[in-house]
Amino acid sequence: MNLSDSFYEHIAQTSDAPMGLEIDRAEGPFIYTTDGNRFVDFISGIAVSSLGHRHPAVIEAIKQQVDRHLHVMVYGEFIQRPQAQYAELLTTQLPASLDRVYFVNSGTEAVEGALKLAKKHTGRHKLVSFHNSYHGDTHGSLSVTGRAVYQNPYKPLLPNVHFLHFNETQKLDSIDDETAAVILEPIQGEGGIIPAQPDWLKKVRARCNEVGALLIFDEIQTGFFRTGSLFAFQQYGVVPDILCLAKAMAGGMPMGAFVSSSEIFESFKYNPPLNHVTTFGGHPVSCAGAYATLSELLEGNFAEKAHVIEQRTKAVLQDENIVEIRGRGAMLGMQLKNESITRNVVEACLKKGILLGWTLHSETLIRLAPPLIIGEELLNETLLAILDIVRKNMS
């Protein structure tokens, strides 16, 4: 049986039409398939490969750690150099109130842990989220994902979850003294690349302060210079109580985290002890890759690179048939007129060797999220090719 047959017959499928590319290797901004084709990865594995594929520093760190040890004990019991070094490096880049990190394996696990931490610390159970948000697919994170079509097959989910409209202030008084936490994305990703309005975000922060609710920022997509700063909240002047991270965190290795204060994390130590545990969270190989990734990001000029990508994309992709280019940095979305055109453009780009995709909650928006290491020549060439395909599919 060949690989394609094994994939379609034995891998659980999540749709009737997977992309089906048979991968040979990946390097920098490119993915190579076994039939000899090369694709520009213009979505970075969905905001994961910000340093491109197989960055040399990340690969070297992974290899060195593999030669030392893999898993040795469940999370939090042994002192492991990769975990401790990375936790120190990460928290030194954050405000003083975000001084302690809990490592997990993925973004949805980070959200799950953040929700539990908020409930445990506050002693409350009400959660507030926003329509068209996306926070993951496990039961807890799905409960705060603001899209009924994904929730309905799995109900009942968590009780006492309330949804407000993103960027609207009318019902912020729904955040009350029974609320454990408000969870939001500073830029809604799967909802269509919708940035929070600065004044609105400050009002949400103020309301949480007023009633004693914790504010959780899901920066799983926006983190690690994707939007032009290390984390998107740094552009808003609003600091969350809990910060959720994943995706670009470990250079392609599976990893997530939620970050908060030492005070808030105290509640995980008692009643009972070990009330939130993970076997593989903070895996030493992933932590080694994450340390190398963050070190490279901090040493490079990636904030400026993200801004250049944004400016160039908005300058090139101008056409009467493009409704809008929105977003920040290298987290952008191209809004087209309808679902049919959007699908045709994505498929035509794939045939031309450009890997694109759309967001889960929007059928007319194409995700544009190239790796931050993409060269200017390749960036320009790719954008011009996309523009040409848009024009051809609109005629």
CATH number at residue 356: 3.90.1150.10
Mean of pLDDT over the chain:
96
Judge whether residue 357 has pLDDT over 90: no
Beta bridge partners of 187: 195
Q: Are 200 and 164 in contact (CB under 8 A)?
A: no
Same domain, 244 and 376: no
Q: What is the dihedral of CA 57, 257, 172, 229, to 10 degrees?
A: -10
Same domain, 213 and 265: yes
What is the structure's pLDDT at 321? 84
Judge whether residue 78 has pLDDT over 80: yes
Same domain, 158 and 37: no
Looking at residues 43-68, what average pLDDT do you find?
Answer: 98
Same domain, 23 and 149: no
CATH number of the structural domain spanning residue 160: 3.40.640.10
Domain of residue 31 covers 3-54+301-394
Mapped onto helix, strand or coil, the DSSP state of residue 64 is: helix
Mapped onto helix, strand or coil, the DSSP state of residue 335 is: strand
How many domains, the chain? Answer: 2
What is the structure's pLDDT at 395? 55
Task: Give the tokens for residue 263.
Answer: 């005070």
What is the structure's pLDDT at 21? 93
pLDDT digits (tens, 9 = 90+) for 133-154: 999 999 999 999 999 999 999 9
Same domain, 156 and 228: yes
More confident residue, 35 or 16: 35
What is the structure's pLDDT at 14? 87
Same domain, 82 and 126: yes
Judge whether residue 119 has pLDDT over 90: yes
pLDDT digits (tens, 9 = 90+) for 289-317: 999 999 999 999 999 999 999 999 999 99
- The model's pTM is 0.97
Same domain, 181 and 256: yes
